[in-house]
Amino acid sequence: MTVAFFDTKPYDKPAFVEFGTAHGLEFRFFETKLNASTAALAQGCEAVCVFVNDTVDAAVIDALYAQGVKLIALRSAGYNNVDVRHAFGKIHVVHVPAYSPYAVAEHAMALLLTSIRRIHKAYNRTREFNFSLGGLVGFDLHGKTVGVVGTGRIGCIFAEICRGFGMRVLAYDRFPKADSGLAYVSLDELFTQSDIISLHCPLTDETRHLIDGAAIEKMKKGVVLLNTSRGALIDAQALLDGIKARKIGAACLDVYEEEADVFFEDRSGHILSDDLLARLISMPNVLVTSHQAFLTEEALRNIAETTVGNICSFFENDGICDNELCYRCGHIERCKKERKERCF
């Protein structure tokens, strides 16, 4: 069994080689991302393994299908880069629903603390023996209100961490959890009452630009925005406008709408062509990490183990895999809990 592995990074290989070898899988590692021009690299492979910035649109799916690829194995939880609808009836799609929700939730809190206590600025200062405190005044998290948008695996853990800091937690979810003990409010209430807003919902047609100019207008002056979910949840231009208008107190971004051509790569010797990203990064109250929230040892091992398990389960189990993303049932993820048989 050979799997074409796209967008390979050095940190991906060890665990995938270890778990793959143990299960008789051979990975062909390609550094290039999957797109219409690179799909031919999967020739002779039964499956492709892709990450968040690979392009798996209709054209790519058709090209893979024509080559005989039977499975697209996402090594991520999010799948907004895959046209699951177009894949239906042609190629099965599996993902890693949870590998370490703690990794992402803890990173969100790390960004928040770094930002509001100016740790990044203090670190740079003391390295140059500048021990002054000017401009480093932060604020207590204790007693503040945090709004959590999306109370799935990551959002619930983030809410729990915030409770540990003595914060009041408000929540919004399209599908609220009945017995979660969370105080659900409307999105508008969350916007108007929160000192800090953290996004943990998936990117869908409905959530694209969830945070736009109108949403920012409703927020408290000085609000801190955290996005460790998907970049396009926030209209980046509206965010920049909100920062320039002094409405937004700080923004912590692990994801960015146009990150695909920038994040995960060393661009330090290049001229950054994305003016919006450059302007955001230049702001003293914006903290950017490059889609790093998942990157812990535990998560990397879980991702590799689950992905290898998904591929083996699919090919050894007559196409049945618990982590299949199914378009037919209309619930994409939730359907798998209800069905016992393969979807097509």
Q: For binding to ligand NAI (CB under 6 A), which residues are involved? A: 77-78, 98, 101, 104, 149-155, 172-175, 200-204, 206-207, 228-230, 254-255, 291, 293-294
Residue nearest to ligand NAI (CB): 152
- Of residues 38 and 229, the one with the C-beta less far from ligand NAI: 229
Identity at 326, one-letter amino acid code: C
Known catalytic membership, residue 331:
no
Q: What's the min distance (Å) between Cβ of 209 and ligand NAI? A: 12
Identity at 12, one-letter amino acid code: D
Distance CA 336, CA 325 (A): 8
- Of residues 63 and 156, the one with the C-beta less far from ligand NAI: 156
SS (H, E, C) 197-261: EEECCCCCCCCCCCECHHHHHHCCCCEEEEECCCHHHECHHHHHHHHHCCCEEEEEECCCCCHHH
Distance CA 208, CA 166 (A): 31
- Of residues 116 and 300, the one with the C-beta less far from ligand NAI: 300
Q: What's the min distance (Å) between Cβ of 74 and ligand NAI? A: 11
Catalytic residue among 95, 118, 153, 230: 230
Neighbours of 297 (CB within 10 A): 11
Distance CA 324, CA 336 (A): 7
- Of residues 104 and 321, the one with the C-beta less far from ligand NAI: 104
- Of residues 22 and 183, the one with the C-beta less far from ligand NAI: 183
Q: What's the min distance (Å) between Cβ of 172 and ligand NAI? A: 6
Residue 246 CB-half CA count within 13 A: 0
Distance CA 145, CA 193 (A): 7
Distance CA 198, CA 105 (A): 10
Known catalytic membership, residue 259:
yes
Q: What's the min distance (Å) between Cβ of 55 and ligand NAI? A: 17
Catalytic residue among 92, 106, 291, 305: 291
Identity at 65, one-letter amino acid code: Y
Catalytic residue among 259, 305, 324, 333: 259
Q: What's the min distance (Å) between Cβ of 253 and ligand NAI? A: 10
* Active site residue ranges: 230, 259, 291
